[in-house]
Amino acid sequence: MAFTLVSLTLFGAVIVFMAAYGYRISAKTAEDFMLGGRTIGVVVMFFFVLFAISSAWTFYGFPGLLYTQGPGYVMFIWGSVVGFAGLYMFLGPRLWALAKINRFLSPVEVLGERYQSKTLRLILSLSILAFIVPYVGIQPLGVGAGFEALTGLPAAWGAIYTAVILIVLVMLGGMRIVAWVNIFLGVIYMTALLGSLLWAVQVLFPDGGLAQAASIVAQSRPELLSDPGPVGAYTPVVLGGTFVVGILAFSWPHVAIGCMTARDKSLFKWFPLLIFVFGGLFFYILPFIWGSLVAPAAMPMEELQALANSNGVSLQTEADRVVQTVISRTLPEWFGVFVLLGVIAAAVSTAAVQLMTSSVIVSRDIIQGLFKPDASDRQITTWARWAVIAVVVLSLVVSFLNQGAMALYLTDVSVPGFAQWAPALVGGLLWKRGTKQGAIAGTLAGVIYLVLSLVIVVNGERPLVIGHPVIPSLLVNTLAYIITSLLTPRPGEDIEAQFFDEVEAYLKAESGAKAKG
């Protein structure tokens, strides 16, 4: 226990020191605090984005759901890889160019100006915050689950520890240091994830490695190795819906804002390949192996159920920490602590970017955009820092009150919520005919339908959900956006020139300059 506490203290101190150093060297401007001065290069951006989406969910929630429901959930991962690649190939360059030309600091600001609508800016801000705030809270709770599995102490202590680190890091460091700290956190996370897998396989299955693990699972739980899985969850319709949810990763606000921090256009040339090779083929295979083979072979379902009963939690909650439990039982205590540090690193790396995004929306889009347009840089950054504290506290309260399967919260609630600004985003950047009336109608229709589909339950079923919560709500959103846009006057020529003609000319000029260089 003493070793664990000392390790956690030192780890937290390192992050706080990096944040303090970042505050000392940063320019005290809103652009530097919110977008890292638009100077993030390809290496830092890779760690920044990859570990902004790789969280406690990746180490705990993803394997935990595979352990209980089978391999079908991996469709979300492959859809996400497609979505991220699409973002950096098609939408990212345009979003980056618009932000750089017009000095926009938020993707919501970009759309507010594109559609010339403060009403839309408020709707987008509130809807994004409504779905990002609870997901921020999942990260400390995920750490808390591992903390409890390792130490036996209440999960709340691990959650509070993580929340304090988050507040200090984001308030002091801003986007630039969050991006740089993600390199440090990412290295720890990758070492813990890969190292724990290799070591645990060597100890648990000395005769045949993963082949031995697969043989054990095939004999004890064969239904875990194919769809629809042990509980029949992954029918063809659900598999398709899960893949669609993954594709919608391009609309995650904390990922989209990363495009606006890029130093130059060349970053978008390399990112799709990096995301596919290192993100998809290498990174996400590791937790998949943990959840599908190693954990089920090492810990039978009956044993996990007994542990859940003794701890007074649901089976899925216990499954969310099965990886940490197996590590704690198999490997030395010091390495179990290191793995917990890796999970904390993952949680902090993701939640910090989400917090930055939330604080930007609160300060830039709501307070300055709607109430005090003449605010100074100092005022904007002050509001953003206060917003960090408010979001962390609120997210923890919401998450403590609504604990459930970590993985399913991401795919069934947060991502469908994030997706509701996707039609306005795609249409605003790629479709000249899109109008503010269409964007408002589509976003409102999609959000309202999604909320109703999640809260209306009849005889244990959700009648408004067809396949997956995101599918009908996004369809309603998109149809409302397109039809309303076609029925209302098209945007003026000045909007077309600013958001399409100037952007295309700027991107061509950037490409020409790079070619000559």
Would you state the pLDDT for residue 402? 62
Is 432 inside any structural domain?
Answer: no
How many whole angstroms separate alpha carbon 135 and alpha carbon 385? 19
Q: Is the Cβ–Cβ distance between 442 and 484 less than 8 Å?
A: yes
Is 235 inside any structural domain?
Answer: yes
- What is the chain's mean pLDDT, rounded? 87
Mean per-residue pLDDT for 314-328?
88
Is 410 inside any structural domain?
Answer: no
Residue with tokens 């819906």: 241
Lowest-confidence range among 250-264, 277-291, 443-457, 467-481? 277-291
How many whole angstroms separate alpha carbon 267 and alpha carbon 272? 10
Q: Which amino acid is at 147?
A: F
Which region, left, alpha or beta, applies to residue 103 given φ > 0 means left and ψ of -120 to 50 means alpha? left
How many whole angstroms separate alpha carbon 421 and alpha carbon 3? 46
Is 508 inside any structural domain?
Answer: no
SS3 468: strand
How many whole angstroms separate alpha carbon 88 and alpha carbon 92? 5
How many whole angstroms separate alpha carbon 25 and alpha carbon 341? 27
- The per-residue pLDDT for range 336-386, each reduced to its tens digit, is 888 888 878 877 878 888 889 999 999 999 999 989 999 998 899 999 999
Q: Is the dihedral of CA 124, 126, 127, 131 positive or negative?
A: positive
Q: CATH number of the domain at 175, please.
A: 1.20.1730.10
Is 353 inside any structural domain?
Answer: yes
Q: Which residue has the higher pLDDT, 324 or 54?
A: 324
Is 257 inside any structural domain?
Answer: yes
Which pTM does this prediction carry?
0.87
State phi, psi for 458 to the nearest 5 degrees.
-125, 115
Number of domains within the chain = 1
Is 66 inside any structural domain?
Answer: yes
Q: Where are the alpha helices (DSSP H) in 152-252?
A: 155-204, 210-220, 236-247
> What is the span of the domain harbouring residue 212?
2-401
- The per-residue pLDDT for range 388-406, each reduced to its tens digit, is 899 888 888 876 766 555 5
Is 474 inside any structural domain?
Answer: no
How many whole angstroms separate alpha carbon 268 and alpha carbon 249? 16
Give 262's strand partners. Answer: 40
Burial category of 470 from C-beta neighbours within 10 Å (exposed 0-12, middle 13-18, buried 19 and up): buried
Q: Which amino acid is at 123?
A: I
pLDDT band for 516, please (50, 70, 90 cuts). Answer: low
Would you state the pLDDT for residue 321? 85
